[in-house]
Amino acid sequence: MIHARLKKRFPAGPDSAEFMLDAEIRTHDPVSVLFGPSGAGKTLTLNAIAGFVRPDEGRVMVGDDILFDGATNVHLPPQERRCGYVFQNYALFPHMTLRQNLEFASRFRPKLERHRKVNEMLDLFRLAELAGRKPHELSGGQKQRCSIARALLAEPRVLLLDEPAQGLDPMLRAELHDVLRNVRSTFSTPILMVTHDLEECFALGDRMFIFHEGRVAQQGTPPEIFDKPASLTVARLLGIYNLLQADVLTLDPGRNTCTLRLGDCELAGPYLPAKFKGDRVWLCVRPEELRASPRDGRPGLNQVPVQLKGATPRPGGMRLEFDRELLADVPRSEYERNRHNKEWIVEFPSAGLRVL
Amino acid sequence: MAIDWFPLWLSLRVAALSTAFAIVLGLWVAYLLAFRDFKGKEVVDALVALPLVLPPTVLGYYLLVALGRGSPFGKFYEWITGSPLVFTWQAAVIAALFHSFPLLVKSTRAALESVDTTYARAARSLGASEWSIFTRVTVPLARRSILAAAAIAFARSLGDFGVTIMIAGNIPGRTQTLAVAIYDAVESGNGSLARVMVLVISAIALLILWVANRLAPRHLFG
């Protein structure tokens, strides 16, 4: 269990605005990710847990151990916290070989056991042949594996990773994800990692915390958050939605229906609790949930006529850009067949109209 | 012309000893100044730099008062070793130490501060004590710059004149260092002797500066 409640105020400086960290994280899951834009307080949270930064108030607990408690003035030094930390630049000691780096992390063990443990780790992280090299002779991926192995050798209560995929190419990123999944299944150490890669959240995260301006804007499993962003802010941070302003026209709790007006069109969906007739709401729909097709006659139920403005190739197909600031995904073949068509129809899913 | 090489030999010995003391003391003071926050840090910082700006005679006077036979330290030293400290070659070591110490502390502090703090953080997260971080991470990473600083400090000790003559005096064969011997030779009109010694000390200084430049940053982590 990791529980951190952190408050820290940074007064405005000559070239920085005031910043207030006021975040609470509580997780029992093996891998938790902190997601958010730069400057949202993710790394600061990690540093406060590791003990590099002292919060003004709050409390940090890992398992049953209190690492920091503002009220009783407990502030363990980083040495006594046993929080494994994998830095963005890996922070391998450049004057030591890879093996010496690992040995540094297990100095507390008796010599024979240390030797065995280090060898075990070298094998586990496929570093055995590189043990005699210095960090500058290693590739980025190798350095990263060594950095993770080194952190684990100190038998940490928790493994903290600061944007581990930053600057890695897609192949190395996939390799890193494999390594972390192996760590997850081999060690019982809970992992807390900072990222601003949404795919990484899905690939690894059991729980996700969305940071925004020093606060946790939402938390949950990645699919939960994906399906139901809690606010416009979260939806914007995730950056994967069409966000459209609409007005509530009718609400019928008996039949569990509602109608919304989007510009000059009407959309039908399930009843919206806690909304009133005439409310202005944000419609939040992912491009792949929309069905786009060339216009053919009058638009039907939940169909909106739109004009094609552009298209961008995507790994899975084409992302079409329409007026009304709508994005929709279609298979490439569908687009190729109708690429000269300007008039299109976009169909909204009636069951899953998401409203904020 | 027969040249007495004792002053050169004495100068090298004095400089080596004072540099050794300066490294041990200087590393500690540089560590405190670089990484610790304590009351009066600015005062310590200023005190360390003071010998750089004071006239050597003033510094020498202070030391004479502090280490003289009448002073508590002087008495203590005499009680321990049986002989006074001032006007011995050991006093020349102290004179050279005060002369080179500020330079060493300044450059060592800069060298320690230039080591990326992430390494210390990483070591802390691995449970290493502050002492082992200092000896096994920070100092090894800054070792080239520290060695360069030590070389400069050595060169500086070699050339001390003012403080040495104040507290060690000018006793040929006992406390006469090279810098003092050159002054002596010029005063007594022995121009050729002075020329030889001037050339020797210049060559040594040049050599040391060359070594220091080779050591200093460029490839700090090589």
Domain membership flag for residue A204: yes
pLDDT at B222 > cutoff 50? no
Distance from CA of A154 to the nearest CA of B (A): 6
Domain membership flag for residue A299: yes
Domain membership flag for residue A352: no
Domain boundary among A200, A215, A237: A237
Residues from chain A that touch B129, judged by Cβ atoms under 8 A, are: 79
Instruction: Give the domains, in start order, of chain B with CATH numbers.
Output: 6-215 (1.10.3720.10)
Taking the C-alpha atoms of A192, A197, A202 and A203 in order, what is their torsion angle to the nearest 10 degrees? -80
Q: Measuring CA to CA, how many Å separate B57 from each of A93, A161, B45?
A: 46, 58, 22
Domain membership flag for residue A353: no
| Gyration radius of chain B over CA positions | 20
Domain boundary among A237, A267, A292: A237
Residues A103 and A229 in one domain: yes
Compare all CA atoms of chain B with the CA of A159 and give the residue at the minimum distance: B125
Q: What is the pTM of this model?
A: 0.84
Interface mutation vs chain A, best among B125, B143, B219, most A CBs within 10 Å = B125
Domain membership flag for residue A356: no
pLDDT at A169 > cutoff 90? no
pLDDT at A76 > cutoff 80? yes
Does the beta carbon of A83 lie under 8 angstroms from any beta carbon of chain B?
A: yes
Tell me what percent of the residues of chain B surpass a pLDDT of 90. Answer: 68
Residues A205 and A317 in one domain: no
Compare all CA atoms of chain B with the CA of A92 and give the residue at the minimum distance: B119
Domain membership flag for residue A59: yes
Residues A302 and A248 in one domain: yes
* B161, B179 contact by CB (below 8 A): yes
Domain membership flag for residue A354: no
Residues A137 and A275 in one domain: no
Does the beta carbon of A54 lie under 8 angstroms from any beta carbon of chain B?
A: no
pLDDT at A9 > cutoff 70? yes
Tell me how crowded residue A252 is: count the other CB atoms within 10 A of its CB: 10
pLDDT attached to residue B220:
43
pLDDT at B136 > cutoff 80? yes
Does the beta carbon of B41 lie under 8 angstroms from any beta carbon of chain A?
A: no
Q: What confidence tens digit (pLDDT) does each residue in A265-297 have? A: 888 888 888 888 888 888 888 888 888 888 887
Q: Which range of residues forms the domain containing residue A319?
A: 241-347
Q: How many domains does chain A have?
A: 2
Residues A168 and A200 in one domain: yes
- Listed residue (B126, B62, B12) closest to A96, CA to CA: B126
Band of residue B29 on the pLDDT scale cut at 50, 70, 90: very high
pLDDT attached to residue B1:
60
Domain membership flag for residue A355: no
Q: What confidence tens digit (pLDDT) does each residue in A304-313 have? A: 888 888 888 8
Band of residue A256 on the pLDDT scale cut at 50, 70, 90: confident
Residues A343 and A217 in one domain: no
Residues A232 and A247 in one domain: no
CA separation for the pair B171, B13 (Å, rounded): 16
Residues A182 and A274 in one domain: no
- B125 vs A136: CB contact, 8 Å cut-off? no
Does the beta carbon of A82 lie under 8 angstroms from any beta carbon of chain B?
A: yes
Residues A214 and A274 in one domain: no
Query: For position A66, which CATH number holds?
Result: 3.40.50.300
Does the beta carbon of A52 lie under 8 angstroms from any beta carbon of chain B?
A: yes
In the structure encoding, which two tokens stand for residue B146, read together?
């520290």
Does the beta carbon of B137 lie under 8 angstroms from any beta carbon of chain A?
A: yes
Residues A296 and A324 in one domain: yes
Domain boundary among A194, A209, A237: A237
Residues from chain A that touch B119, judged by Cβ atoms under 8 A, are: 91, 93
Compare all CA atoms of chain A with the CA of B120 and give the residue at the minimum distance: A91
Compare all CA atoms of chain B with the CA of A91 and give the residue at the minimum distance: B119
In the structure encoding, which two tokens stand for residue B139, read together?
């100092």
